[in-house]
Structure formats: C-alpha cells, structure tokens
Amino acid sequence: MTSNSYKEKISVLRSKRVSPVLEHLPVETSTTAITDDNVLSNIVIQANDDGISHHRPSKLQNRRDTRVSMDLTSKGTLSFHNIRYVVGERRKNCYLSCIKLKSGKKIINNVSGIFTSGMNAIMGPTGCGKSSLLDVLADRKDPHGLSGQIFVDGCPPPPSFKYIVGYVVQDDIISGTLTVRENLMFSANVRLPADVTNNERQIRVTKVIQDLGLELCADTKMGTEFLRGVSGGERKRTCIGMELVLEPKILFLDEPTTGLDSATARNVMECLKVLSETGHYCSYDHVPILSYINSETDLTNNLALFSVHFPNIHHLNIHFPFHDNFWSCLSSLKQLTSIEVRLLHTDIAYFQLQKLLNQACHLYSLNIYYSKNLSMRLFTLTSLSIRRLDFIAESTSCVRYFNHNDCNILINSPLGRHCEILIIGLKNRASIVNLINAMPTLRSLICHCKDDEYTTWNSLSVDDELIEWLRIRLPLTYEISRNEKQTHLIRLWIDQKNV
C-alpha cells in the first residue's frame, strides 16, 4: 500500500444511525490517481474560477456549543468538482496598479471525483497534492486561491462541516503521559458540544475502545521517549479513536500507516476496513435479551442490509441453523450468560452452535428446548464455561427421557464433566443415583422421572413414594423435595452447604 514513490491518503465514510430501518450501502474502494498538472487537467471537463462552496459561520464558539450533524438518513457520499488550489498568486489591485502580477504555484488543478460510502484512497507520488486535496475536502484550507465545488450527498456541506468530520493527521497528536482512555476522554471533553452529558461521553469512549480493539491497553500510558508505553499500532488506533468519539460521518486520514512496520500497518488498515464496512449500523447497547426465530416470513436474510448490532446480550433465545448474516448482529458475546436453543439436527446447526459456544466465554447456562428428538451428537460439543444444563421444555410432551446409555454419554461428555446444575428427564429413577455418583461436580439435580407415579389426586398422601425411595438410597445430607408449582419435578440439593 505504501512504497518509496507512492503514499496514500485514506478517507473512511462512516455513520451511525438511530432508525431501526436502515439502507444497505455497497462497500466500495475507489482510487483517484494524482500525477502532474497536465494529467490532472485531462480528468475534468472545464475549470471553474468560482469560489469554493464552503460556508463559514461567524463565531467559533457557536459552532462547538451547537450540536450539528449531517442528515442521519444520508448515504455519506462525498463528491468534488473542478477543485483548483493555487498558492502565492498575486492578483491585480486597483489601488496598487504598479505592482507586477504573480501567477502563483498550482497545487491542485481542476480535480473532480466522488467518494462513496466505504474506504476510499487517494494515491500518487510525493508532492503531487494528496494532502492538499484532503485538506480541501475537509475544509481545512484558506479559501484564498481555492475554487471548485464540494457536495455531501449532492448538497453543499453544512456551515460547521469541518467540525463534524474527523481528520487524523499524519503526526500523532496525543499526550504520552496519559492512558489510552484518558486521551480519548480528553478529546471528548474538549471537542464535543456542551449538551453532551459526561455519562454519554464515557459511553462513547468505551465503545470506541471496543471498536478499535484497545481493551487490553485502555489503561496503559501512551508513552514518551523516557516512558515505555503502547505499541505503534495501538498508538495509531488511539489517534483514530480521538476522532471517532465525535461520531463523524466522514473520517479523513493522512497517511495512517506512516512509520509503522508492514504487520502493524496491515492491522491498522484492517481495522479501518472493518470500520468502513460496519459504519452504517444501529447499535442497541441496552438490549439484554434477544430472541431469534427462524421462519420463512422473518427478515433475517436481510440482517446484513440492516446491520443491527446487539453488543450487550445477556440471554439469547435462538433457532439453529440460522442465516449467516445473523452473526453480524452479534458483535460481541462476552456478556452472554444463558442461551435457549432449538435445534434442527443438521451439520450446519451443530457447527453454528459450537462456533457460538467458542465466542461466549462467560456462558453459564445452556437450555435445550424440544429435546424429544435430541441427538447425542450434542454432547460432542465443548465449552469451558457452561455449568448449567437444562433438557426439560415447558411441555412434558416435548421432553426427551434419558435412558441408562444416554446418561453414560452425558456423564463422559465435555459438557457433563463440568456440569453443576442439571435439569433432565429420566426413564428410570435408578439413573438419578447413577448421575449423582458419577458426576462429582454436580451440586443440584432437577429431574422428571417417567416412572414417577405421583399425581395431583394422590398429592394429599403423607408419603411421596419416589422421594422416600431416594432417601433410602442417598445420604441424609441431601435435601430432596418436589417442586410446588411443577409437581412432576423432583429437586435434589446434593451439597447444601455449597449451594
């Protein structure tokens, strides 16, 4: 991407939407090659001597204190036409007619182009005007000697355009004695409008840290020449994050890989690519429970089009298999603690379930609904965090009753070895004793025995036949009772002190 003769300027067009109905924008990469003035003049149709179409408000303070943003429903397309930039030009003055006119130096000569949503690169040899063009597009150049037109989604940019776009300069502008989080918070405090609350700023900073993969170094100082700090890639990503806290629709980057080795440069570019591809999304940060039902009438096949994110899901109710686009909704499964599963017993269903288990590092409970047709293949899956297994659905007609062989498979499975709480249907009451003796980590067992003769009509009887049978065969320290609401269930507390 970079070499001795060519460098690049990157602009990432991204936006966050608040509407649940979103448009799908194709992610394209366009390259505008800039060479010498003669070549540039052949790209455009005609020069334009009119002034640049930026509008400048009069007061800087008003621009910062007023929350201004571009239309959230827009596509974020940036186009420019007949951009011409000349420095050192001396124009005719009616009062000083004796002064000789000076032509000036052409930095940019009649350049036109368009940047669609996604990551776009401006490439060319050193000194051809890449940085100057980037500065012009970001409204960072003095209007003197500047002409042409710039449009955002076909309209002139708003008055405060340069204050609502992000611009990452080539040199890192950060404080080496502050941590990554403190640098991001400093940027948020200084640059965000006054009506953005402190809590909202902290949420933005935390999200930027997650998006850029800076969690491990968030509280590490950046470092100086006398103080060891973060790596070069983490440093560059922090600089990018200081702009992302503004939630800009358009992000300009001036040679973002300068000074980085090839591996680090690749990581930075991959990070930018992900940002550009996932730029249009609706993030539901406060949705703890999510249900996904796979049916012919749902819109799951279009989830990539909507790009809805649920980063803080705690409980997931899901049908397997599901469309691959659904993975884009689950941006993070680190908060997931319980999952209810409905399985179609296919290869892809078990592959997807194992992939989900691998990503959910804090998953505690696995609940299998409609386990009547459950395949023993389930017990080939692995998870280091699951401690609770539930194989009983709401309706007893959907319960799978485990026989002696099924119980042995469960006992020797990766899921069974770490199980502490087991909810299961059993064909024979003898399997209760077998499970307790063979599963040393088991603390609580809730079961429904098919040979349990307890019914509501004999519930007034003093003796509960199954409970008495268990008390004879199990230690007296075990607490055995029948569920008051679901009387078909027997509850056993195997080690009451540790429960």
User: Is residue 13 one of the residues assigned to a domain?
Assistant: yes
Q: What is the CA radius of gyration of the chain?
A: 32
> So what's the pLDDT on residue 496?
46
> So what's the pLDDT on residue 27?
31
**Full residue range of the structural domain in which residue 289 is found:** 283-498
**Of the residues 139, 163, 187, the one at which a domain ends:** 163
Stretch 476-484: mean pLDDT = 89
Lowest-confidence segment of 46-55, 190-199, 373-382 by average pLDDT = 46-55
Confidence category of residue 392, pLDDT binned at 50, 70, 90: confident
User: Is residue 348 one of the residues assigned to a domain?
Assistant: yes
**Of the residues 163, 197, 216, the one at which a domain ends:** 163
User: φ and ψ at 232, to 5 degrees?
Assistant: -65, -40
Contact 491, 446 (CB under 8 A): yes
Confidence category of residue 336, pLDDT binned at 50, 70, 90: very high
pLDDT digit string, tens, across residues 156-198: 888 777 777 888 888 888 898 999 999 999 999 998 888 888 8
User: Is residue 46 one of the residues assigned to a domain?
Assistant: yes
Contact 149, 82 (CB under 8 A): yes
User: Is residue 49 one of the residues assigned to a domain?
Assistant: yes
Domain count, the chain: 2
Q: What H or E segment, with its residue span, contains residue 274?
A: helix 262-277
Contact 236, 269 (CB under 8 A): no
**Of the residues 130, 163, 196, the one at which a domain ends:** 163
Higher per-residue confidence, 373 vs 144: 144
Question: What residues pair up with 413 in beta bridges, in sequence order?
Answer: none
Lowest-confidence segment of 108-117, 289-298, 353-362 by average pLDDT = 289-298
User: Is residue 19 one of the residues assigned to a domain?
Assistant: yes
Count of CB atoms within 10 A of residue 479's CB? Answer: 13
> So what's the pLDDT on residue 383?
94
User: Is residue 404 one of the residues assigned to a domain?
Assistant: yes
> So what's the pLDDT on residue 75?
57
Q: Could you list the beta-strand ranges (E) of 164-233.
A: 166-168
Copy the structure tokens of residue 241: 């994050």
**In this structure, what DSSP letter does residue 373 have?**
G
